[in-house]
Amino acid sequence: MSHSLSGLWPLALYAVLVVCGIAGIILVSHFLGPRYRTHPNPATEEPFESGITPVGSGWQRFPAHFYLIAAFFVVFDMEAAFIFAWAVAFREVGWTGYIEIAIFIAVLLAALAYLWRVGGLEWRTARSAGRRNEAMR
C-alpha cells in the first residue's frame, strides 16, 4: 500500500507549492496594494465611462435576443477553429478527414437552417412585429 502512494509525492509537493504561491501573492498584494479605504476619494467610487459622467441608471433591461445572437455567434464561430485545424492537417487526414469535415459543415448548415426557420435570427420580436403590422393597417 505504501509503495503505491510513494509515487504521489511530486503531486503533493506541487499542491503545497501552489497553495504557498497563492498565499504569498495575496499577502504581497495586501501590503503593497493601494489603500482606497484609508485615503477616500470621491472619484474612486465614481464609475468611469470614456471620460463622460454617467447619466441615469446602469441597470437597464436588454432584450433576450441580444444574448441569443451572442450565443449563436459563439457556437458558429467555433466552427472556424475546427475548420482551420482541418485545413492545417488536410494532407495528413486525407479523404477520411474530408468526409468528416463535410459532415461537420452539413450539420452546422442544418442547425443554421433550423434557426432561420424558427425565427431565431430575426431581429424583431413577435410583439414588435405585431405592433408594426397594426400600425400599417
pLDDT in tens, 9-32: 889 999 999 999 999 999 999 888
Residue 117 located in a structural domain? yes
Domain ranges, residue 110: 64-136
What pLDDT sits at residue 27? 94
Model pLDDT, residue 99: 94
pLDDT at residue 2 greater than cutoff 60? no
DSSP string computed for 62-115: --HHHHHHHHHHHHHHHHHHHHHHHHHTHHHHHHHHHHHHHHHHHHHHHHHHHH
What's the predicted TM-score (pTM) here?
Answer: 0.44
Each residue's pLDDT tens digit, 62-100:
777 777 778 778 877 888 888 899 999 988 988 999 999
Q: Are residues 68 and 132 in the same domain?
A: yes
Distance CA 88, CA 99 (A): 16
| Residue 132 CB contacts under 8 Å (≥ 6 apart), including other chains | 124
Residues 68 and 124 in one domain: yes
